[in-house]
């Protein structure tokens, strides 16, 4: 039995490294691999107690074959994920750090390294976006934050994994912003050839997964598209979420693109969970979208949702959407993006909730607390991510500003670098 368990090393070649040291890292080399199984094997069979202090993996007070089985399960199925996840999309953190931004806690004390600071406040997951070739994006979009190519994301992703966070990778399948209003095909891909696009999606997704893993940045979750309520890779993959499609698109094409992407993920690292991510301008669309995905047999693991009250309305709308999603599928739900202004309205605001939540530190904080209260009424909501919490231009000269305008929903005040109270309340979601 013990020799059979050692074969976990072959499985590790598919998805080889977990970059953060933890209870499964028996030999303390910073990775969980077959070598940890070997260390336990040597103790049980040969009495080698070099790693005795770290050998009780399952924490039952004794060192047995059950500890080897626990590591084997990790190699086979991936690191156990937390029951709930809370964090943010910190895709611009590298740029703010390079620019010299000064981050402070709510009391005005300088934070030397903001990435672990989030963890100290109870955050356990981070999200990063990836564009196919952001060099092709317009100068306007680049100044809005379209800068994340694969090299950038591998480096930031490894930092996130090394810091012990769950990593969510958000594939845009575009050279620039992909969202409900635009899902442009990358310039290097065929625009209208469905069969060729299937291959492009598969090959690109597979390469991304392989390179992320090789870089020590294995995604725990991966979004196969960003806010794809209306499909992806327009025009051929454009759809109506409630059924049917505009001229040139079809659900069949959209599903084919999704299936080829999921095939690549499953082949490279089957433990990575797949998210389909939509938004909720119309309260009926998300539920209908996921109902159709179930009917077409789309391969995915998690229903993802964006919620901004400025664009999507009050918490009653959020509650309705969650009810509809729960009725459409039995899968778990994660809020992939949310945000609320701390001093000014978000650009393009459609719903004004300032009568209850003024644009202030306290208003943003109270919004966050009450949003979490709504989410916790839904037991299948397992994740909550704030959009762009790290935005902070404080101490960066105006001529070198990271973006052309401030993100008003940050969890740091661009004017003085101080953390907002909402940052400290996000952990309520885990309670």
Contacts of 153 (CB under 8 A, 6+ apart): 128, 129, 130, 169, 212, 217
Q: What's the token pair of residue 86?
A: 């809370």
Give pLDDT, residue 95: 98
Over residues 208-213, the mean pLDDT reads 98
Tell me: do 44 and 171 sit in the same domain.
no
CB 428 within 8 Å of CB 112? no
User: Range with the lowest mean pLDDT among 13-22, 62-71, 92-101, 291-300?
Assistant: 13-22
Question: Is the alpha carbon torsion for 22, 23, 28, 31 positive or negative?
Answer: negative
Give pLDDT, residue 76: 67
Give pLDDT, residue 47: 87
Continuous segment of H or E residues that includes residue 223: strand 221-224
Summarize pLDDT for 242-253 with one digit per residue, the tens: 999 999 999 999
Tell me: do 255 and 145 sit in the same domain.
yes
pLDDT band (50, 70, 90) for residue 52 = confident
Distance between CA atoms of residues 189 and 200, nearest Å: 7
Summarize pLDDT for 228-238 with one digit per residue, the tens: 999 999 999 99
**CA 406, 409, 414, 419: dihedral to nearest 10 degrees?**
-160
The residues facing 381 across adjacent strands are: 333
Residue at which a domain ends, from 51, 77, 103 = 77
Give pLDDT, residue 21: 40
Overall number of domains in the chain: 2
Summarize pLDDT for 345-395 with one digit per residue, the tens: 999 999 999 999 999 999 999 999 999 999 999 999 999 999 999 999 999
Summarize pLDDT for 302-340 with one digit per residue, the tens: 999 999 999 999 999 999 999 999 999 999 999 999 999
Residue 90 to residues 135, 232, 302, 343, Cα–Cα distance (Å): 20, 23, 21, 20
CB 180 within 8 Å of CB 337? no
Continuous segment of H or E residues that includes residue 291: helix 285-296
Tell me: do 114 and 15 sit in the same domain.
no
Give pLDDT, residue 19: 34
In terms of pLDDT, which residue wins out, 209 or 36? 209
Tell me: do 53 and 73 sit in the same domain.
yes
Tell me: do 73 and 141 sit in the same domain.
no
Residue 275, pLDDT above cutoff 70: yes
Cα–Cα nearest to 229, from 300, 153, 287: 287
Cα–Cα nearest to 102, from 408, 334, 338, 416: 416
φ, ψ of residue 94 in degrees (nearest 5): -55, -45
The residues facing 29 across adjacent strands are: none
CB 129 within 8 Å of CB 178? no
Tell me: do 410 and 361 sit in the same domain.
yes
Tell me: do 216 and 355 sit in the same domain.
yes
Tell me: do 135 and 203 sit in the same domain.
yes
CB 212 within 8 Å of CB 168? no
Q: What's the token pair of residue 328?
A: 């459409």
SS3 222: strand
Tell me: do 172 and 122 sit in the same domain.
yes
Give pLDDT, residue 77: 60
Residue at which a domain ends, from 55, 77, 99 = 77
Residue at which a domain ends, from 22, 43, 77 = 77
Summarize pLDDT for 9-25 with one digit per residue, the tens: 333 333 433 333 467 88
Give pLDDT, residue 1: 34
Residue 8, pLDDT above cutoff 50: no
CB 49 within 8 Å of CB 86? no
Query: What's 9's domain CATH number?
Result: 1.10.1330
pLDDT band (50, 70, 90) for residue 34 = confident
CB 240 within 8 Å of CB 246? yes
Tell me: do 114 and 65 sit in the same domain.
no
Query: What's 412's domain CATH number?
Result: 3.20.20.80
Tell me: do 154 and 17 sit in the same domain.
no
Domain span at residue 258? 85-430
Give pLDDT, residue 36: 87
Give pLDDT, residue 22: 64
Tell me: do 167 and 144 sit in the same domain.
yes
**CB atoms closer than 10 angstroms to residue 46:** 8
């Amino acid at each position: 039995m013990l020799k059979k368990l050692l074969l976990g090393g072959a499985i590790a070649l598919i998805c080889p490294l977990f970059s953060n040291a933890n209870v499964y890292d028996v030999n303390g080399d910073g990775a969980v691999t077959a070598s940890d199984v070997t260390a336990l094997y040597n103790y049980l069979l040969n009495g080698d107690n070099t790693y005795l202090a770290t050998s009780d993996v399952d924490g039952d007070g004794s060192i047995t074959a059950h500890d080897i089985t626990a590591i084997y399960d990790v190699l086979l199925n991936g690191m156990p994920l937390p029951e709930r996840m809370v964090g943010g999309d910190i895709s611009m953190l590298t740029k703010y750090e390079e620019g010299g931004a000064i981050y402070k806690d709510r009391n005005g004390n300088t934070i030397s390294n903001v990435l672990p600071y989030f963890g100290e406040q109870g955050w356990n997951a981070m999200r990063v976006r990836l564009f196919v070739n952001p060099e092709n994006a317009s100068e306007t979009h680049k100044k809005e934050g379209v800068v994340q190519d694969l090299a950038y994301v591998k480096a930031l992703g490894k930092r996130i994994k090394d810091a012990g966070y769950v990593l969510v990778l958000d594939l845009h399948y575009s050279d620039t912003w992909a969202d409900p209003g635009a899902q442009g095909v990358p310039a290097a891909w065929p625009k209208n050839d469905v069969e060729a696009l299937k291959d492009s999606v598969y090959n690109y997704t597979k390469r991304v997964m392989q390179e992320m893993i090789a870089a020590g940045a294995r995604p725990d979750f991966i979004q196969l598209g960003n806010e794809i309520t209306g499909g992806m890779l327009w025009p051929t993959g454009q759809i109506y979420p409630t059924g049917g499609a505009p001229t040139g698109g079809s659900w069949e094409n959209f599903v084919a693109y999704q299936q080829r992407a999921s095939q690549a993920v499953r082949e490279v690292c089957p433990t990575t969970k797949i998210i389909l991510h939509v938004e909720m301008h119309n309260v009926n669309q998300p539920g209908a979208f996921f109902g159709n995905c179930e009917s077409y047999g789309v391969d995915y693991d998690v229903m993802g949702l964006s919620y901004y009250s400025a664009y999507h309305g009050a918490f009653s709308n959020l509650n309705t959407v969650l009810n509809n999603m729960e009725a459409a599928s039995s899968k778990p739900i994660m809020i992939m993006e949310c945000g609320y202004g701390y001093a000014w309205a978000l650009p393009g605001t459609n719903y004004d909730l300032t009568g209850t939540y003024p644009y202030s530190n306290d208003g943003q904080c109270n919004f966050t607390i009450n949003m979490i209260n709504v989410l916790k009424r839904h037991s299948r909501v397992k994740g909550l991510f704030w959009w762009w919490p790290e935005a902070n231009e404080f101490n960066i000269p105006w001529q070198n500003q990271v973006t052309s305008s401030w993100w008003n929903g940050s969890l740091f005040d661009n004017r003085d670098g101080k953390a907002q109270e909402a940052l400290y309340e996000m952990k309520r979601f885990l309670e």
